[in-house]
A and B are shown apart, each in its own frame.
Chain A
Amino acid sequence: MDLLIPFLSLSAVTFGIGLYGLISKRNMLRMLLAAEVNFNAAMLALLTFAAASPGSGAATGGILALLAIGMAAADVGIMVSIAILMFHLKHKLDVYELEEFKG
């Protein structure tokens, strides 16, 4: 069975769910978790396209995926550090309060 369509559709569904969470939540950590759902969906689409690529396209897609996973780990570290700092200062994780962190 040609699984390209189901794989890409699954990626689209997961991305939609993540986007809903990203837009509808105000809690910083919940937004981070929603963004991570989006990341997983994007990775699935990337590797599906890589698997369908001819020649060395698959290996290149694999390398891109490895670098992307490393970057995702880095951005989680930054976001959680900001959340910890914000919680210590404000005892809240509401992103609307971030306005006061300017400058």
Chain B
Amino acid sequence: MSLSELAADPTVVTFFALAAVTIVSSILVIAHKSLVYSAFFLGVLGMANAALFALLGFTFVALFHVAVYIGAAVTFILFSITMFEEVPSVERPIRLIAALSAVLIFVLLVGTFTLYFNVPFQPGYIEYTELAKLLVERYWFALIIAALTLITTLIEAITLARLEEKK
């Protein structure tokens, strides 16, 4: 497929635009001096990822990602960070080791993924009824465990927050 044909494919153009946003926002999450902006760029990363999920055919997961992950988790981090004073960023003196580890894991992942490069890939639409049926009939136990975990987390977070008050 030639370059002009690739550029005419809207899926390819959308993918590369989203990939650029994903990579730049990931770097900014790690490298930005301000914690508040780092958390903001995590939200941008989540939005780009949700769009990628939708591109893969998982529209429902994309919506859930925006509502629960960005709407709750990232917003929670963002608001919590505003409660902290800006503390000076301390870095470990192992930047070289960290960079080497990152490159190594990238090579390792690409090496592992190579095994799947010949698998036919045709993103399509997923039936919501099938998804709901599977969730309720086959994965009901996992669903209950997830609900219990969320409740436990809520109690744990309240306990931790009140610990300071008691002291």
Query: Which of the four size classes fits the interface of chain B?
Result: 35 or more
Residue on A nearest B143 in the bound complex, by CB: A67
Complex partner residue of B157 from A29, A59, A81, A92, CB under 8 angstroms = A81
Taking each of B56, B83, B99, which has the highest tally of chain A beta carbons within 10 Å of its own beta carbon? B56
Q: Which residues of B contact A7 (CB under 8 A)?
A: 15, 52, 56
Q: Is the CB of B160 within 8 A of A81?
A: yes
Given known contacts A7-B56, A60-B134, A67-B146, A84 and B161 CB-to-CB distance under 8 angstroms: yes
Contact flags (1/0) for A1-35 with B, using CB distance below 8 Å? 11111111111111111111101111101101110
**Interface of A: prevailing SS:** helix
Given A62-B61, A71-B146, 16 more A-B residue pairs with CB atoms under 8 Å apart are A3-B121, A4-B117, A33-B35, A33-B42, A34-B29, A36-B29, A36-B74, A36-B77, A37-B26, A50-B56, A51-B56, A73-B68, A74-B149, A74-B153, A77-B153, A77-B157
The residues of B with any CB-CB pair to A shorter than 8 Å are 1, 6, 9, 11-12, 15-16, 19, 22-23, 26-27, 29-30, 35, 38-39, 42, 45-46, 49, 52-53, 56-58, 60-61, 64-65, 68-69, 72-74, 76-77, 80-81, 83-85, 87, 89-92, 94-95, 97-99, 101-103, 105-106, 109-110, 113, 116-117, 119-121, 123-124, 126-127, 130-131, 134-135, 139, 142-143, 146, 149-150, 153-154, 156-157, 160-161, 163-164
